[in-house]
Structure 1
Amino acid sequence: MSKKILGILELENRPITLPGALCAPGSFPFPVKRLTVPGATSKSVVDGDEALKDAYIRTAHTLATEGATAITTNCGFSAIYQNDVAAAVSVPVALSSLLLVPFMARTLPPGRKIGILTFDANKLEERHFAAAGWSSKDIDIAVIGIEGSETWRQLSDPIPDASSKLILDDVTKAANTLRRREPTVGAFLFECAGFTLASSTVRRETGLPVCDFVNLGNMIASVGID
């Protein structure tokens, strides 16, 4: 029987491998294969560079050829490449945790919003939601970003030097700020793969569910081809 192997399309920025991070050893109970998408930096992907589409497709093809049974990324802004990459390879593709929003919405009682924590709220747009298969006209959301924070600066750097404490502090601060601002938030969705190490802390501090890239990776790999 063949193994499940999760393929991760990575940015050129050095990935965060701290415990609990998406790309940390041991984050998944199955093998992971990581490949860098040429030209895909935090800036170019967050800015929505359409010219990267072919690079995403080529790298996804390579992952699938080398045995990946499902493919994701380490940047939620990669949502804009979702349809093209999914159409180009024969294994399940989920490029952004934003794909989880419709599922999350169905789990909440009426009147509850999904709080989206993003790398940069100024850059997260309706086109990202549309590429993930939903609209903010149909699903109640509240968005907050960490732009301007030290974590934001570190994750923007080609070689980030962010500590677990720094990420935890900035992400939990954003989550608590959003909850005070939007008291009807009933769950959090972390757009940024760099936030996953803070998920358990935010769940504990807020008492609310949190969905992130590790959840997405487990889900897409579990339905991948055996």
Structure 2
Amino acid sequence: MTNNYQNNCHSFAGYTIGILAPNLDYEKTVGNVANANTFDFPVLYEIVDIDLELLFKGDASLNETIVSAAKKLEEAGVRAIIGACGFFAHFQDVLKNNVNIPVFTSSLLQVPLIESSLASDQKIAVFAANGENIKKALSATGNHNVDRYVLVDVTQLDEFSPIRYGVKTLDNHALEVALADLAKKTVEADPSIGAVLLECSDLPPYAKAVQEKTGLSVFDFNTLINFVHQAVDQRHY
């Protein structure tokens, strides 16, 4: 019997992960979720032409557009759907109830796993691309232990503005240094922090530098995507 995962009767085949990607114009270096060279397995992108500010807010007016894009990925034969922005978290429930494959909208879905790995008095530093709405996004993915989160707004970094606002050319090295320094200062200011989570799908290229500066486990979109890929496409040993 052929199940859905084995069915390759589509225009294309072999894609395990489908990625919902906002239509943003800036350099996507390797490590960025929007750069296919980041992954050791095929991924399929579907552009979601939406207002990023509305995405940050979780505006329900985006539901139809986002669901339509997810259904296109499902019809193309992917085995799981990822959102290439942590604030797709707002749409986790509506998406999982409108497709028949696993949905992992946000890096924030890793929070319960991270919490379970830490001592009860340890916290998670969450570095977010939008500080104003990060609490709402965490709540949308079932993360309500607010006392355990140290929320850091990455927009305070001028080096992040090319990604956030598209106002100038991105300097990858400068952003790497700035983010790592910010992470170090954050952890030094609160020694109870036991792990770091990078919400934004643009930040994984800098995860190693953050880890080297903090000495902590660093979770991001790529740790999520690799985990999901392993689950939906197991191999023989």
TM normalised by structure 2 equals: 0.86
Worse-superposed segment, 182-191 or 143-152? 143-152
Residue 134 of structure 1 aligns with which residue? 143
1:94 matches 2:104: yes
Residue 55 of structure 2 aligns with which residue? 45
1:112 matches 2:158: no
- Residue 50 of structure 1: how far off its partner (Å): 1.8
Residue 3 of structure 2 aligns with which residue? none
Question: Take 1:152 and 1:15, find their aligned partners in 2: how far apart are those partners?
Answer: 11
Question: Take 2:49 and 2:155, find their aligned partners in 1: how far apart are those partners?
Answer: 25
- Residue 56 of structure 1: how far off its partner (Å): 0.9
Aligned with 2:150: secondary structure?
strand
Residue 22 of structure 1 aligns with which residue? 33
User: How many residues align structurally?
Assistant: 223
Name the amino acid aligned to 1:34. Answer: Y
Question: Take 1:200 and 1:95, find their aligned partners in 2: how far apart are those partners?
Answer: 23
Which residues of structure 2 form unaligned runs of 5+? 1-5, 9-13
- Residue 15 of structure 1: how far off its partner (Å): 6.0
Question: Take 1:72 and 1:66, find their aligned partners in 2: how far apart are those partners?
Answer: 14
- Residue 109 of structure 1: how far off its partner (Å): 2.0
Question: Take 2:57 and 2:170, find their aligned partners in 1: how far apart are those partners?
Answer: 22
- 1:42-101 deviation digits (Å, cap 9, x = unpaired): 322113322111111000000111121111111101100001001111111101111000
Cα RMSD over matched residues? 2.0
User: Which has the greater radius of gyration?
Assistant: 2
- 1:192-224 deviation digits (Å, cap 9, x = unpaired): 111100111111221100000011111222223
Aligned with 2:232: secondary structure?
coil
1:55 matches 2:62: no
TM normalised by structure 1 equals: 0.90
Question: Take 1:167 and 1:18, find their aligned partners in 2: how far apart are those partners?
Answer: 12
Aligned with 1:7: secondary structure?
strand
Aligned with 1:88: secondary structure?
coil
Cα pair 2:16 2:233 within 8 Å, conserved: no
Cα pair 2:181 2:213 within 8 Å, conserved: no
- Residue 4 of structure 1: how far off its partner (Å): 4.8
- Residue 16 of structure 1: how far off its partner (Å): 4.6
Match of 1:156 among 158, 164, 168: 164
Match of 1:122 among 114, 117, 132: 132
Match of 2:220 among 204, 212, 217: 212
Aligned with 1:115: secondary structure?
strand
Identity in percent: 23
- 1:152-179 deviation digits (Å, cap 9, x = unpaired): 3211235873232132123213212211
Aligned with 1:223: secondary structure?
helix
Aligned with 1:20: secondary structure?
coil
